[in-house]
């Protein structure tokens, strides 16, 4: 089971998509089928934390098989404490995306759900691939269905937004592809662990000269995806035009692919370059935090506002990673999950308003708390989670990132921490203008409150935001060792070392047991560990 679970999780959605293709064009059947398939994928993914081997630092649930002899491509999948949660984030969000699309997608519903499920496979694939070629296939594979979802099901300027999204990220990815090919040519492998070992053992000829360019090749692709300032301008367009489910997955998962890439490749494979360039990357991240928030503050369009807030929030993630501190990186990983839940939920909420009024303009609303009390309460809770109020998820991530940033360099911490003021500013102002006061537009007075389906999609998100805020060790306990591992790349990660043993009660223990096994100090200082 443990060998095949990742394959299963990754390809269940695609199998479902195939099935969907042969189903009749009956919306009811399609909707339910897509929902059930995505829920099945989620249930399978629960296997991962449930059987997590808490003692092991490296990758787990590994499968590594020769796929193509020449070029030497492996089907190598595994997860560590970081990627496992991103997989779960993906499988957690997708059913809600299907659910909220039930009523908002008109026409070509079959294609929509097929695209959605294919996209899910691609996103999961990105997080589980340890073969760089495989990784790249999934990486680009995620681009296509997302561009189609925006382009086919979006709003007025959907084609512009889809093309911009596609070209922008595609062009950036080409640089990564060049880096990957260079590495393959010089190591004869696409395998992440082999390449990492080769780099650490200085066994790649010409690496010293190329490392800089390789770093930039990966960096450009990921920075655009994050998006890091000033590569962010595709994001507001893509979000505003995307259908709700597209926005949720775009913000919830696709952006995380960028942050994940930065951590997995830039920081772990090229630690020297990462340290050398950290100062300006962090500067861009901090600019992103403040700039994104200030621009969000003045947006007249609420979806654009949330899009810019993503620029700000993702700035925290990048900042946390490039401080190379335990707390900062833990927080960054956690913040990825938080942002997926909170901003995902925010986009869902905005989509529900759009379905009612067909506009995202803030001035079209006002006083909605009167006709829509339940909806506005849920909106408030998600807002608070995004603002980073303690006991909500956002706080834990932000706090760890900022304390890490502060300990790395006080100025980073100080500037980053201003984010807590800005986020309260733009989100509470949005909330005030949308929900408080008298109903200003007569048409809004009769808007119906959140219905059953909407509550089913929103309440789990709110609950998740709260649980993640109150019981963070459930997650961080698995993240922490993996981060520690990534920050000290001389600890050789090899799939052979990955354990396959199940550990059923790890969740309960994570919650109650605060003690952690000490890191083996010896490995950190030994640079020449050879791969077995």
Per-residue contact flags (x/-) with other proteins for residues 102 to 131, judged by CB under 8 A: ------------------------------
Pick from 48, 420, 461, 495: which binds other proteins (CB under 8 A)? 420
Task: Tell me the HSE value of 280 on the side-chain side, using a 13 A CA sphere.
Answer: 7
473 binds other proteins (CB under 8 A): yes
Task: Please state the closest distance from residue 277 (CB atom) to other proteins, in A.
Answer: 21
Pick from 195, 240, 254, 396: which binds other proteins (CB under 8 A)? 396
Residue 163: CB atoms within 10 Å = 15
Task: Please state the closest distance from residue 134 (CB atom) to other proteins, in A.
Answer: 10
Q: What CA dihedral angle connects 10, 16, 21 and 24, to 10 degrees?
A: -170
Q: What CA dihedral angle connects 335, 336, 338 and 340, to 10 degrees?
A: 160
Positive or negative torsion for Cα 386, 388, 389, 394:
positive
435 binds other proteins (CB under 8 A): yes
527 binds other proteins (CB under 8 A): no
Window contacting other proteins (CB under 8 A); options: 18-26, 139-147, 214-222, 261-269: 139-147
Window contacting other proteins (CB under 8 A); options: 198-206, 264-272, 368-376, 522-530: 368-376
Helix (H) or strand (E) holding 76: strand 73-79
Q: Which of residues 22-51 bind other proteins (CB under 8 A)?
A: none
400 binds other proteins (CB under 8 A): yes
Q: Toward other proteins, which CB reaches closer, 456 or 470?
A: 470
State in Å, rounded, how far the first CA of the chain is from the last one.
25
Q: ∠ CA(444), CA(252), CA(215), 5° rounding?
A: 140
Q: What are phi and psi of 388, to 5 degrees?
A: 85, 40
Pick from 23, 414, 456, 463: which binds other proteins (CB under 8 A)? 414
Positive or negative torsion for Cα 274, 334, 231, 10:
positive
Task: Please state the closest distance from residue 532 (CB atom) to other proteins, in A.
Answer: 26
Per-residue contact flags (x/-) with other proteins for residues 187 to 226, judged by CB under 8 A: ----------------------------------------
Of 19, 15, 8, 18, nearest to 42 by C-alpha is 8
Q: Which of residues 48-77 bind other proteins (CB under 8 A)?
A: 67-69, 73, 75
448 binds other proteins (CB under 8 A): no
Pick from 428, 459, 467, 507: which binds other proteins (CB under 8 A)? 428
Quickly tell me which residue has 């800089």 as its tokens. Answer: 212
Q: What is the largest CA-CA distance in the chain?
A: 72
Pick from 55, 188, 208, 373: which binds other proteins (CB under 8 A)? 373
Task: Please state the closest distance from residue 291 (CB atom) to other proteins, in A.
Answer: 6
Q: Which of residues 227-266 bind other proteins (CB under 8 A)?
A: 230, 232-234
Q: Toward other proteins, which CB reaches closer, 453 or 516?
A: 516
Q: Which of residues 302-331 bind other proteins (CB under 8 A)?
A: 325-327, 330-331
- Are 84 and 49 contacting, i.e. CB atoms less than 8 angstroms apart? yes
SS3 68: strand
Window contacting other proteins (CB under 8 A); options: 188-196, 238-246, 353-361, 415-423: 415-423
Q: Toward other proteins, which CB reaches closer, 294 or 524?
A: 294
Per-residue contact flags (x/-) with other proteins for residues 149 to 168, judged by CB under 8 A: --xx-----xx--xxx-xxx
432 binds other proteins (CB under 8 A): yes
Report the C-alpha gap between 301 and 27 in whole angstroms: 31
Size of the residue set binding other proteins (CB under 8 A): 82
271 binds other proteins (CB under 8 A): no
Task: Please state the closest distance from residue 252 (CB atom) to other proteins, in A.
Answer: 23
174 binds other proteins (CB under 8 A): no
| Three-state secondary structure of 207-269 | HHHHHHHHHHHHHHHHHHHCCCCCCCCHHHHHHHHCCHHHHHHHHHHHHHHHHHHHHHHHHHH
- Are 378 and 463 contacting, i.e. CB atoms less than 8 angstroms apart? no
Q: Which of residues 273-302 bind other proteins (CB under 8 A)?
A: 291, 294-295, 297-299
Q: How far is CA 480 from CA 54, 337, 404, 503, 507, in A?
A: 11, 14, 13, 17, 14
Beta strand 73-79 with 60-68 is antiparallel
Task: Please state the closest distance from residue 152 (CB atom) to other proteins, in A.
Answer: 6
Task: Please state the closest distance from residue 171 (CB atom) to other proteins, in A.
Answer: 9
Per-residue tokens: 150:
């925006």
435, with CB counted inside 10 A (0-12, 13-18, 19+), is: buried
425 binds other proteins (CB under 8 A): yes
């Amino acid at each position: 089971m443990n060998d095949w679970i990742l394959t299963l999780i990754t390809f269940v959605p695609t199998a479902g998509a195939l099935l969907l293709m042969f189903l009749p064009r009956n919306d009811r059947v399609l909707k339910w089928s897509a929902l059930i398939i995505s829920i099945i994928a989620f249930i399978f993914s629960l296997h991962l934390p449930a059987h997590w081997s808490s003692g092991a630092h490296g990758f787990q649930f590994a499968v590594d098989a020769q796929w193509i002899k020449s070029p030497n491509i492996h089907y190598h999948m595994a997860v560590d404490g970081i990627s496992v949660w991103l997989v779960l984030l993906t499988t957690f969000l997708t059913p809600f995306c299907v659910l909220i699309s039930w009523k908002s997608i008109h026409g070509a519903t079959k294609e929509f759900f097929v695209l959605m499920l294919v996209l899910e496979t691609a996103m999961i694939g990105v997080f589980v691939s340890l073969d760089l070629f495989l990784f790249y296939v999934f990486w680009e594979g995620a681009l296509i269905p997302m561009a189609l979802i925006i382009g086919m099901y979006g709003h007025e300027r959907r084609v512009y937004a889809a093309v911009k999204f596609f070209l922008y990220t595609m062009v950036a990815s080409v640089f990564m592809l060049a880096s990957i090919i260079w590495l393959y040519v010089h190591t004869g492998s696409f395998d992440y662990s082999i390449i990492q070992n080769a780099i650490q053992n200085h066994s790649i000829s010409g690496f010293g000269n190329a490392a800089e360019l390789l770093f930039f090749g990966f960096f450009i692709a990921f920075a655009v995806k994050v998006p890091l300032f000033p590569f962010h301008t595709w994001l507001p367009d893509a979000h505003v035009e995307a259908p709700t489910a597209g926005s949720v997955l775009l913000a919830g998962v696709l952006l995380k692919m960028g942050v994940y890439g930065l951590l997995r490749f830039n920081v772990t494979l090229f630690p020297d370059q990462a340290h050398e360039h950290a100062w300006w990357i962090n500067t861009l991240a901090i600019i992103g935090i403040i700039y994104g928030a200030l621009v969000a503050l003045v947006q007249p369009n609420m979806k654009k506002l949330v899009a810019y807030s993503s620029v700000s929030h993702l700035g925290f993630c990048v900042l946390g990673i490039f401080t190379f501190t335990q707390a900062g990186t833990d927080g960054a990983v956690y913040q990825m999950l938080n942002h997926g839940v909170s901003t995902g939920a925010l986009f869902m909420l905005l989509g529900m308003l759009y379905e009612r009024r067909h506009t995202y303009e803030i001035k079209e609303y006002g006083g909605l708390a009167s006709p829509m009390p339940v909806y506005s309460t849920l909106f408030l809770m998600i807002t608070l989670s995004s603002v980073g109020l303690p006991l909500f998820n956002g706080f834990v991530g932000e706090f760890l990132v900022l304390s890490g940033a502060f300990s790395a360099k006080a100025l980073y911490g100080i500037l980053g921490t201003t984010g807590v003021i800005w986020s309260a500013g733009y989100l509470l102002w949005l909330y005030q203008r949308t929900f408080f006061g008298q109903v200003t537009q007569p048409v809004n007075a009769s808007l119906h409150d959140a219905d059953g389906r909407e509550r089913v999609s929103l309440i789990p998100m709110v609950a998740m935001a709260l649980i993640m805020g109150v019981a963070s060790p459930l997650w961080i306990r698995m993240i922490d060792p993996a981060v520690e591992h990534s920050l000290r790349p001389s600890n050789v990660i090899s799939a052979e070392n990955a354990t396959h043993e199940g550990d059923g009660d790890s969740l309960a223990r994570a919650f109650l047991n605060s003690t952690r096994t000490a890191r083996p100090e010896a490995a950190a200082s030994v640079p020449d560990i050879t791969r077995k």
